[in-house]
Every structure is written in C-alpha cells, then in structure tokens.
Chains A and B, each alone.
Chain A
C-alpha cells in the first residue's frame, strides 16, 4: 500500500481510499474511489487526489457481506464472544452487517436489551450490528414479547426470532406472523418440532444408529416449515426460515414459493459442506442444531441455493466456550463458528460465481433485513460497504487464529480457497492487508 500525503481539500473529515484495478463482482478490473462514506467514482485510471491507494490487482470486490444469523453472545456469555470480538470476526470474514440473534442472557426480548446490543455494535464500529428481537418472552414460547417496542426502539428491529427454540405453538406463530405486519417485520423461524426432537443429538439415520446417538429426524424440520408456510399464506405475512437443512425442506419451500407464499430461507455454510459422518469422531465441534445431515441433503441444499429456492447463506455463527465443547457429545452445546470461514466455504462449494455469491451473501440478506445501506454493488453514490477477496489464496483453517473468542470451528485443518484482504464500512477500512484495523 502506498501512502499519499494529503493533497488539497484539507477540510475532508475522512481519508479517502482509491482501490486500483479491482474486479467488481468479478467484472473487468476498474478503480474505485471511496470518499465521504460512499463510492465516489468508478472507472479506469482514476486520479488518487490524495487518497490512500489500495492495490486491488487480482482481487474481487463484493458488496459487504450481510449475515442474517449471528450469535454474538453478549450480554451473558462474554467468555464465548462479545459484540466487539464477533464484529471483528465478521469484518475479517468480509461482512459489513450482522444480525445478532436474541438468545442472549438476558434474552433480547425488550427494547432495553436490543438497544444495548445495538449500542455495543456502534461502539465496536467494525460492522453494523442489527439486533434481532425475540418473538416470545424469554424464548419460552408462551406469550409474545413486546415486538412493537423493539421495532420502535433505536435498534429498529424488523426481524424477530426465538432461534435456538421453535415457536412451536401454532396459534402463537400465527399471531406473531400477523402482528409484525404493522411494521413490515418478519418472523425468522427455527423450524424444529420439539416433541420429535426430545433428547436429539444428531441427524436421525444410518450414522445415528451406528453411534447410538438419539436421532433428530428430518421430518421435525419439514413439518414445521410446511405448517409455517401455510400459516404465512393464510395471514399474508412474511416468513423467513432459519438454517434449512434437509432435502425435504427444499421441496416444501419449492412448493410454497410456487404458490406465491412470502417466504425466504437461509442455509448455513456448514450444511453445504459437512455431513453427519463427522459425528463419528464424537467430537462435539461437529454438534450443531439443526444437525449435519447426509450427503444427499447437502447436494439438494447446494442445488436449491443455486436455483434460488434457498435465498441466502447465513452463518449461524455460534461461539461456545471450550468447556462447553471439550466434553461428552451429549453434554456439549450445539453450534459452530462461521463468520470467518463462510466466504471460503462458499467459494469451495460454488466456485467463483461472484454474482451468485453477492446475491446470496449480501444483496438478498440485506433486502430481507431491510438494511438499505448494505447489499449494493459498488457504484457511484452507493454507501462504501464492500469487501475485497483474493480468490487465488488458499488457507488452512487454524482454530487458534480465529478472531472470535471461541475456537469451535468445524473446519480446523481444512484448506479452503479465498482470503479476505480488506473490508470497508462506510468507506472506512475495518480490515486491511487481511488484518483487522482495530
């Protein structure tokens, strides 16, 4: 990187950046000039005019990634992750916005808690942290939380989810779907029929039989999605399905979309890459909810993502303290890290299909979340939320090198393509030369 001494315009509040010769969403190389928090100019051989120059040769610029499903653990489990450490992990993964799930302690079921998380995100200043509010008080599935108060709060909550728990009561789910229409909210459902998954430890199938672990049947997910798309259709509301994991769920979704139901769905990187065979080690780093499924499910999820039946990739980044994973499988908490490896996994799964990646990891998730500053391809006047990827780089995942406070990555030792070189949030770098700037 070349440092230029500031030219004219001493009144400019922020340093500007000139990214040279970068392929915007995979197109032919061009320059991007960032100033005043937006992309000021796009074109070949732009004058630096005092901007710091970033060499974009060989790099691809993507709109900053947007994660609709992140667990930041604060408040409550700051030993596993904080808003700041999770934000740093996100920026290093190419994200400029994350939606923080509500299952904190205390639960994000009041305006006070969502505002706290929102404020912590602003203070960290590494990504935009958009809190998700709980659907029900304490995630208990019994009565609605004050959804309107959270929507009206400074955090401007639009996505509501009891993630980790399913809103299993059909009447409560119907009411929630209806109620959030008043402020264009969406219910993000963790689809898991609780009675069918009592004590469940992994995907129910050949491997669970062999390992003697209680099965989590695919039908427990599919039955809830089927019910919910019908409910959403009935009341004319928006539904978002979290971490879809089975081939059968894809078929339910395909059917619903054909009928015009307002439903979107996400898939996690780990469900696109890993299968239930991983459980054979009994290493709980592979324990996650919903569980890793079969290779047939993985194939169906990949096809559905390309086809658009599944709308987005979301990480379900779930940091856990060492003692919650370094134990017996049945006693371990479910979940795995995702923010710092998501793009690499998607490059591995999809190849360099940049527009598809931008659509599934940035533009569509931003649209679902209502984050208007995000998810826009770099172009003049667009907020400068973008990330630069080196697609030629390969890296071997090392848990000890994760910026997350936790180490529970399921990809340890795997060599994956792609490296995030820089990330910009409103024109300011959060990552440069592959390192977090703060």
Chain B
C-alpha cells in the first residue's frame, strides 16, 4: 500500500479498486447501531487545515473517529500558523506529537508534497490550491460505480472552472486510470493549456455543453466562483449560466440513466439549477455520505499498511 496519498496519479487501477472495495465494506459500518471499528485505535490522525473547509474536515474527522483513531484538529486560524509559523515548523511539531497521519488542506499547490518531506507519518492531500483533491476523486468514482455499476467505459463530462479546480485534476487522473473517458467542458478561458498531455492522453475538451450531454453517462458540475468574472474569465454570471450551467431543459438532453454530480458547495442558479440539484439524477447527497466511507478506506489502508 501507499505511504502517502498526494495525487490521483499515485493510484494504479488495482490500488484504486482496492480502496473502492474497502470503502464499500466501510459503508456497512454506517448502517450499524454502533458506527465504529477498532481498526485505528491508538493511532493519531491530525487534520491540518489551512483553509476553511468544514465539509471536508468533518468528513475526514468522522472517518478517523469511526476507525477509533485519536483525532486532532489543527486549524490555521488562531494557531501558531497565524503567528507566522512555517509549514516546516508546524510539521516538526506534529511529528514530535506522534502524528501517524496528517490530513492537510492548503491553499498552496504542492504543500502536501512539501509536508511529506518533513513528517514520518502518512500525508493525505485533502485539497491543495488549484492542484488536486484525490479523496474527492475516489468518492466520485465510488459514487459512479454505486449508481452505474462500473467505471470502465463510462463517458464523464467535467464541466466548469477546470483551470482552478483540484477536483477536476484528480478526477481526470483517476478516471483515466479506471478506464473512463473524460471530456472537459467549459469556456476556453477556464480550460488549462495542454490538459490532455499534462494529465491523461485521451482526455477530450469541448466548449459546447449541449453537444456533449447526449453521450454522457456522468455530468460532473464544478463550482464556479462568481469573482472569476472580475478577472475576465467570463463576462457575467448570467452568461456563464446560459452557456455552461446545467438547467432542466439541458438535463433533458442526457440519456435516461445519466447521473449529475457536484463536489459542493453549489452555486445554485450559477453552474447548476435547483431543479437539477434536487432531481433524482443528482448524487450530491450520496457523494457526501460516500466521502466518509472512502476516507475511512484510505486511512485504514494507509495506516494499516504500516504494520
């Protein structure tokens, strides 16, 4: 098993499948009266969050606690970090406290890679800048497999601000590894250069959402920050929604079995219309539930592998 999980590229198909299979077993715990396994008793998991991300932090916290790990939440605000402590010094502090795993969310791309040089325990990337968010990709893959029965051969459209999206990068990498065909859709200003060559050959790019929808098994809508229009990525929220937002009429272009995903938090009315978010095709709430199972699986396999 891996030591760290920093990137979707760290996972080969066998490892990714093992994580998804393990997550399925973990999911049964959630249905029990006592939602707890003793697997990580006595192990310490630190949630090191340099960005506010309540949903991801809570998901990791729930995952670690259901495995009986001791959880320390270290948030950058009101801590030594806000007093100017460097990431390296924080890492050495966590090391001295005996952290077996550090879950890190950080606004700077690559911060988890730096951290992995400075701590002996496992490092889990819980989102770094505009780079990656591998457990999100795993929970998305888990959700696709649960809904559609497979991942290989699926056509997945990832729609929106790919340029700034760590969710998109991890999904492109993992889905390619698992045999899905990914089409990135958005305005050209929000599609990074050479994305196929950079991440996975065979990744397609389209600027026309309507053309992509009829052949998509999965549509993954990315969060688009309204402030991007101040930087001229698109002229207005309304124009963005008109061209790339998923509304009811557009959803009707999808095949009957297709699902709609969103990593949250959503901008209702911007990239996704309320009637789509709340429709039976939407997997948004399942994604949250699956996130805990997948993170349990990752923690279990990373830390269990140390024995």
The chain A residues found within 8 Å of chain B, CB to CB, are 201, 204-215, 281-283, 323, 326-331
Interchain nearest-CB distance for B81 vs A (Å) = 12
Known: A211-B131, A281-B113. A328 touches B193 (CB 8 A): no
Instruction: Output the residue of A211, A212, A331 with the most chain B CB within 10 A.
Output: A212
Interchain nearest-CB distance for B135 vs A (Å) = 16
Q: In the complex, which residues of chain A have a beta carbon less than 8 angstroms from the beta carbon of B114?
A: 282-283, 327-329
A205, B194: Cβ atoms closer than 8 Å = yes
A207 to B169, CA, bound (A): 12
What 1/0 flags go to B93-131 for Cβ under 8 Å of A?
000000000000011111101100000000000001111
A217 to B110, CA, bound (A): 20
Contact residues of B between 193 and 228, Cβ < 8 Å to A: 193-195, 197-199
Q: Which of A213, A323, A326, A327 contacts B109 (CB 8 A)?
A: A213
A207 to B194, CA, bound (A): 9
Q: Nearest CB to that of B164 among chain A residues? A: A212
A206 to B197, CA, bound (A): 7
Q: In the complex, which residues of chain A have a beta carbon less than 8 angstroms from the beta carbon of B195?
A: 209
Q: In the complex, which residues of chain A have a beta carbon less than 8 angstroms from the beta carbon of B61?
A: none
B279 on interface, CB distance cutoff 8 Å: no
A206, B194: Cβ atoms closer than 8 Å = yes
The chain B residues found within 8 Å of chain A, CB to CB, are 86-88, 106-111, 113-114, 128-132, 166, 169, 192-195, 197-199
Q: In the complex, which residues of chain B have a beta carbon less than 8 angstroms from the beta carbon of A282?
A: 109-111, 113-114
A328, B131: Cβ atoms closer than 8 Å = no
A215 to B130, CA, bound (A): 12
What are 25 of the A-B contact pairs (CB < 8 Å)?
A: A201-B109, A205-B193, A206-B194, A208-B193, A209-B192, A209-B193, A209-B195, A209-B198, A210-B169, A212-B128, A212-B130, A212-B131, A212-B132, A213-B129, A214-B130, A282-B114, A283-B114, A327-B88, A328-B106, A328-B108, A328-B111, A329-B114, A330-B107, A330-B110, A330-B129
A329, B193: Cβ atoms closer than 8 Å = no
Q: Which of A205, A208, A215, A331 contacts B108 (CB 8 A)?
A: A331
Q: In the complex, which residues of chain A have a beta carbon less than 8 angstroms from the beta carbon of B169?
A: 210, 212
Q: In the complex, which residues of chain A have a beta carbon less than 8 angstroms from the beta carbon of B197?
A: 206
Known: A204-B193, A209-B192. A323 touches B86 (CB 8 A): yes
Q: Which of B110, B132, B192, B199 contacts A329 (CB 8 A)?
A: B110
B109, A329: Cβ atoms closer than 8 Å = yes
Q: In the complex, which residues of chain B have a beta carbon less than 8 angstroms from the beta carbon of A326?
A: 86, 88
Known: A209-B192, A209-B193. A330 touches B87 (CB 8 A): no
B109, A330: Cβ atoms closer than 8 Å = yes
A331 to B111, CA, bound (A): 10
A290 to B276, CA, bound (A): 45
Q: In the complex, which residues of chain A have a beta carbon less than 8 angstroms from the beta carbon of B131?
A: 211-213
A328, B110: Cβ atoms closer than 8 Å = yes
Q: Which of B87, B106, B113, B199 contacts A209 (CB 8 A)?
A: B199
A212, B88: Cβ atoms closer than 8 Å = no
A331 to B110, CA, bound (A): 11
A209 to B198, CA, bound (A): 6
Interchain nearest-CB distance for B123 vs A (Å) = 12
A205 to B86, CA, bound (A): 29
Known: A323-B86, A326-B86. A209 touches B110 (CB 8 A): no
B199, A212: Cβ atoms closer than 8 Å = no
Interchain nearest-CB distance for B165 vs A (Å) = 9
**A-B contacts besides A210-B199, A326-B86, 7 pairs, CB < 8 Å:** A208-B192, A210-B169, A215-B193, A326-B88, A328-B110, A329-B108, A330-B107
Interchain nearest-CB distance for B197 vs A (Å) = 5
A207, B198: Cβ atoms closer than 8 Å = yes
Interchain nearest-CB distance for A298 vs B (Å) = 18
A210, B129: Cβ atoms closer than 8 Å = no
Q: In the complex, which residues of chain B have a beta carbon less than 8 angstroms from the beta carbon of A327?
A: 86-88, 114
